[in-house]
């Protein structure tokens, strides 16, 4: 069920609902636009929206013009830093913005972004990022195959960097249950795990045989410390058992008939994930069954399906459970949709 849509000012590649209490209505959407010619440039933006799917509201609050963005992530709840939005961009920077509320008469909480730091990580492009659970570090994947971990201290920024892969690193993700571990995935088809307590980080494992194309995304199950998901250009969503961390077992997989670019666990319902499937739209998948099953698909976008996220917040209305709103975006048509699954996800 579509609630609202709009077109962004550039090629849309990421959408992220704010997970912090009082700001669940805030959606950030980022763009990356390559201007070709004699002097090519990569421009981008972050657009901040006020979203209410029940009322069909998708109101632009604020826009930040910046370098071309590959990834954005809100700081995790419980990090004691409030709502911060980090971006990984084509100029090799990680920029961090604070979500703030104007002192004017606006009734919307969290209606603009204020940049509070900009750190030049590399001469290569920053392709992906992830916060650790305490919001004290950010892992960054780079286009030269390196991974950086930025430790965010008030007095100074400490950077740990190592060569992790042969090609572009599209996935760098902290283990939310064991945050000393960082998972990475790359165009070299390798799925790796590193122990960041060593400097440079120590390789815990590297799987080179399962993914037949590049690894696009890696997501730990927030409710099960033994389960991890990977998505790949080879169109498969894979479910891993990581109890033996040095030898993870690929238990199950499902073909989604499009490169699996994003995986987002439902904020409340265990075992339900939202996936962006590049050439095959978006899918809601149950990954807890013996055989993973697609519950619903959404194909109202006209180009590469890249950005996807669930809205947090109450699932109750008039004493009944209701489906969570979803934001999705697609690249070349610059389209942002807000919708709700038609089936019963609860």
What would the DSSP string read from start to end of 253-286? EEE-SS---EEEE-SSSTTEEEEE-BTT-EEEEE
Give the pair of three-digit tokens for residue 314.
Answer: 């109450």
What's the confidence (pLDDT) of residue 319? 46
Mean of pLDDT values over 278-285? 98
What would the DSSP string read from start to end of 203-221? EEEEE-SS-SS-EEEEEE-
Helix and strand numbers, DSSP H then E, in the chain? 0, 30
List, in order, residues 6 or more apart from 195 with CB less than 8 Å away: 180, 181, 201, 202, 204
What's the confidence (pLDDT) of residue 314? 57
Each residue's pLDDT tens digit, 6-16: 999 999 999 99
Helix (H, G, I), strand (E, B), or coil: what is residue 239?
A: strand
Instruction: Residue 112: name the closest of 63, 167, 79 by CA.
Output: 63
Q: Are strands 157-163 and 169-174 parallel, antiparallel or unpaired?
A: unpaired
The β-bridge partners of 20 are none
Distance CA 290, CA 9 (A): 43
Instruction: Residue 321: name the closest of 345, 297, 285, 288 by CA.
Output: 345
What's the confidence (pLDDT) of residue 200? 86
Among 115-119, 139-143, 197-201, which is the least confidently predicted range?
A: 197-201
What's the confidence (pLDDT) of residue 156? 58
333 pLDDT band, cuts 50/70/90, is very high
On the question of pLDDT at 155 being above 60, the answer is: no
Give the pair of three-digit tokens for residue 84.
Answer: 């911060």
What's the confidence (pLDDT) of residue 39? 83
Each residue's pLDDT tens digit, 247-270: 999 999 999 999 999 999 999 999
Long-range contacts of 264-272 (CB under 8 A, 24+ apart): 264/219, 264/308, 264/309, 264/310, 265/219, 265/221, 265/222, 265/223, 266/310, 266/324, 266/345, 267/19, 267/310, 267/312, 267/324, 268/315, 268/324, 269/345, 269/346, 270/221, 270/223, 270/224, 272/345
What count of Cα atoms within 13 Å lies in the side-chain half-sphere of residue 118? 8
Task: Identify the structural domains of the chain with CATH numbers, from first to last.
Answer: 2-314+321-339 (2.130.10.10)
85 pLDDT band, cuts 50/70/90, is very high
The size of the chain, in residues, is 346
Degrees to nearest 5, angle at CA 200 with 238 and 115? 80
What's the confidence (pLDDT) of residue 78? 87
Each residue's pLDDT tens digit, 45-69: 999 999 999 999 999 999 999 999 9
Degrees to nearest 5, angle at CA 50 with 261 and 92? 45
Mean of pLDDT values over 107-123? 92
274 pLDDT band, cuts 50/70/90, is very high
Query: Could you tell me what percent of the chain has a pLDDT over 90?
Result: 86
Mean of pLDDT values over 189-209? 95
The β-bridge partners of 45 are 31, 65
């Amino acid at each position: 069920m579509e609630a609202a849509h709009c077109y962004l000012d550039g090629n849309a590649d990421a959408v992220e609902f704010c997970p912090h209490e009082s700001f669940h209505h805030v959606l950030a959407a980022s763009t990356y636009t390559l201007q070709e010619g004699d002097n090519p440039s990569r421009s981008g933006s972050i657009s901040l929206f006020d979203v209410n799917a029940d009322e069909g509201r998708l109101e632009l609050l604020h826009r930040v013009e910046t370098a071309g963005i590959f990834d954005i992530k809100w700081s995790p709840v419980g990090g004691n830093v409030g709502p911060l939005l980090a971006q990984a961009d084509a100029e090799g920077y990680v920029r961090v913005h604070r979500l703030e509320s104007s002192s004017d008469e606006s009734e919307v909480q969290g209606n603009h972004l204020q940049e509070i730091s900009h750190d030049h990580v590399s001469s290569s492009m920053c392709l992906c990022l992830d916060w650790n659970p305490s919001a004290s570090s950010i892992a960054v994947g780079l286009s030269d195959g390196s991974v950086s971990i930025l430790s965010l201290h008030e007095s100074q920024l400490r950077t740990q960097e190592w060569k992790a892969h042969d090609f572009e690193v599209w996935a760098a993700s902290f283990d939310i249950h064991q945050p000393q571990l960082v998972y990475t995935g790359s165009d070299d088809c390798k799925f790796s795990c590193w122990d960041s307590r060593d400097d440079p980080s120590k390789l815990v494992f590297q799987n080179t045989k399962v993914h037949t194309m590049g690894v696009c995304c890696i997501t730990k199950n927030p409710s099960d410390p033994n389960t991890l998901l990977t998505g790949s250009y080879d169109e498969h969503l894979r479910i891993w058992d990581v109890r033996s961390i040095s030898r993870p077992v690929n238990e199950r997989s499902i073909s989604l008939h499009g490169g699996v670019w994003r995986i987002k666990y439902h904020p409340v319902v265990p075992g339900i994930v939202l996936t962006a499937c590049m050439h095959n739209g978006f899918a809601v998948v149950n990954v807890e069954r013996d055989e993973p099953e697609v519950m619903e698909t959404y194909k109202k976008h006209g180009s590469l399906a890249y950005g996807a996220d669930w809205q947090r917040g109450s699932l109750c209305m008039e004493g009944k459970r209701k489906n969570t709103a979803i934001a999705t975006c697609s690249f070349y048509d610059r389209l942002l949709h807000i919708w709700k699954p038609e089936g019963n996800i609860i």
